[in-house]
């Protein structure tokens, strides 16, 4: 990974994840990510690649009003689902725009895209969870994650506590 990729991804997600505490929705989270990607692009090392902020905005508009199947096709063929930040981050926001009212369905859609779909689904789930809370996900899905002993619920509580200071 280049410094720019790490900085843009880290900055964007660090800005978006606390949205739940502010009661923000997906549109606010997307706007915060665009702003964070712009900040990251100014501070990172330049690489020959598309602007992440502009691609997030474009990808969200691209899937607006599309059914899930058409949105998935557009995301896969036009936005891209590779490891590249300028594809995977916009793809995650496009998935959330395609299925704004159902975070779990958004994760399932992301996981079915192909390419680096596990990362895209993880980002979409993290962003949606931050916006609407863990209760938006089926208990059996959370149980599978908890079964791996990662202590994610505890980690999330600790992050919220740090953010609240």
Residue 23 has a pLDDT of: 61
Range of the domain at 58: 3-137
146 inside domain: no
Quick check: is 58 in a domain?
yes
| pTM for this predicted structure | 0.82
How many angstroms separate the CA atoms of 123 and 102, rounded? 15
The Cα–Cα gap between 16 and 28 comes to 9
Output the CA–CA distances (angstroms, integers) from residue 73 to 41, 61, 64, 106, 134, in the order listed.
Answer: 28, 14, 13, 14, 28
Would 15 be classed as within a structural domain? yes
Chunk the chain into consecutive blocks of 10 residues (it has 165) and report each block's average pLDDT, rounded to whole numbers. 42 52 77 92 83 97 97 98 96 97 95 96 91 86 80 77 74
For residue 11, being part of any structural domain is answered with yes
Specify the pLDDT at position 78. 98
Within a domain: residue 77?
yes
Structural domain tally of the chain? 1
7: Cβ–Cβ under 8 A, 6 or more apart, which residues? 40, 43, 44
Rounded to whole angstroms, the Cα distance separating 142 from 137 reads: 7
Residue 148 in domain: no
CA distance 43 to 8: 9
CATH number assigned to the domain comprising residue 102: 1.10.4080.10
Our CA angle for 17, 133, 158, nearest 5°, is 60
d(C-alpha 91, C-alpha 20), whole Å: 21
C-alpha 114: how far from its chain's center?
16
């Amino acid at each position: 990974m280049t410094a720019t990729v790490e900085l843009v991804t880290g900055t964007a997600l660090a800005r978006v994840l606390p949205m739940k505490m502010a009661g923000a929705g997906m549109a606010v989270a997307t706007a915060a990510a665009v702003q964070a990607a712009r900040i990251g692009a100014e501070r990172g090392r330049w690489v020959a690649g598309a602007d992440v902020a502009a691609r997030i905005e474009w990808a969200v508009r691209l899937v607006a009003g599309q059914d899930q199947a058409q949105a998935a096709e557009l995301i896969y063929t036009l936005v891209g689902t590779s490891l590249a930040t300028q594809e995977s981050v916009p793809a995650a926001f496009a998935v959330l725009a395609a299925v704004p009212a159902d975070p779990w369905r958004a994760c399932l859609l992301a996981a079915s895209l192909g390419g680096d779909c596990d990362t895209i689904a993880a980002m979409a789930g993290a962003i949606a969870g931050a916006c609407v809370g863990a209760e938006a996900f089926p208990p059996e899905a959370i149980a599978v994650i908890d079964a791996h002993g990662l202590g994610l619920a505890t980690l999330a509580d600790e992050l919220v506590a740090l953010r609240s200071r």
